[in-house]
Amino acid sequence: MLDLIALLNLAFQVLNLLILARIIMSWVPGLGPYHPAVRAVHLLTSPILDPIRRLMPPVGGLDLSPIVAIMLLYLARNLLVQVLLAI
């Protein structure tokens, strides 16, 4: 059971790091949308960020969906760990 929790924690950490990488890559002017790293990160994070963007428009021109996604991932991880520990 602890191995499953460790794997779950690792998966959520990777998702959080990918979201942070997407934020940082959006600030780098030389990385266009066709760069392989940008495309890979967008492919992996879009299923999480796109539904949040549909529900929450930009505030003052800022896209806050990554912050909301990280908070939701944190809550989901905690919930899943609690469920696994209760089994």
User: Hey, is 81 helix, strand or coil?
Assistant: helix
In this predicted model, what pLDDT tens digit does every residue of 11-64 receive, in sequence order?
Answer: 999 999 999 999 999 999 888 889 999 999 999 999 999 999 999 989 998 999
Structural domain count of the chain: 1
Quick check: helix, strand or coil at residue 58?
coil
Domain containing 81: what range?
2-86
Enumerate residues 6+ apart whose C-beta is below 8 A from 12: 73, 74, 76, 77
Could you tell me which of 73, 80, 75, 77 has the C-alpha nearest to residue 18?
Answer: 73
